[in-house]
Structure 1
Amino acid sequence: MKHNFEISYTQQGDYLLPDLRLPEQPKVEIGIWGKRHLRYIKQHHKIRYTDLLTSCKLTAYLADIDEQAEEMFFRLVKQLAEKEGATEQFKAENQMLWVQRMNNIRNRATEIVNAELIYV
């Protein structure tokens, strides 16, 4: 099989450097969890980030992490709310205390997701 590639070059001082471009990756909306993980791997796992980027797998990887984290977060919130009695009946009886409990539960669920999926 024969390929015909035209390579363009850019002059950098005394050197001609090839103009390299990555193929277009699919446009996928990445949520907050995927964006957090992206920042983390860019700063702390540069080799993993570069490998995913150059193999054109970064977008799919981040979308997968985002989906897993979202599912984990909502599952944890639901489980913790049931365990701690933050029910609709409790909400009707004492709305302010219910809001406090739910904020606490959401914060703990966020910390768990961050520790187990995002910052690893």
Structure 2
Amino acid sequence: MNEFDFDILTAGEPAQFGKYGSLRLRYLKENKPTLYQALLQGHLLNAHLNEIDQQAHEVVEQIAQQLIRSEQFDESVKLSNPILWVQKMNSFKDIAEETVMRDLIYC
């Protein structure tokens, strides 16, 4: 992340986006330079990155919760087999993040 000058990118506003916004920024710069320049010149880049970051967090949470429900995976597993619970939760999050990367970040 140190390779980006966030003051220039956000027209003097402090950069507030997180992990997914940063990933989107890198993708735009490397793969969609025209869109990146349009957002930058229109002073819309920071808002775009914040929106993507917020949406990504929401979608990851929604998908993870859907996977938990679909597999009928509940807190009782956490008490009876904590290692399995951590593995499953990490797996659910990984699946959700793959979807977010494909549908929000790299599109």
Same structural fold, with TM-score higher than 0.5 when normalized by the shorter chain = yes
| Alignment TM-score, normalising by the size of structure 2 | 0.85
In the other structure, the counterpart of 1:34 is: 21
Amino acid at match of 1:59: N
In the other structure, the counterpart of 2:3 is: none
- When Rg is computed on C-alpha atoms for both structures, the one with the higher figure is 1
CA contact (8 A) 1:77 1:106 kept: yes
Q: Which runs of 4+ in 1 moved over 3 A?
A: 21-25
Q: Which has the higher strand share?
A: 1
Alignment of 1:9-88 (within 5 A): 24-88=11-75
1:98 aligns with 2:81: no
Unaligned runs of 5+ in 2: 1-7
Larger RCO, structures 1/2 (Cα 8 Å, 6+ apart) = 2
Amino acid at match of 1:26: E
| Alignment TM-score, normalising by the size of structure 1 | 0.77
- Sequence identity percentage: 36
CA distance in 1 between partners of 2:10 and 2:59 (Å): 32
RMSD: 1.8
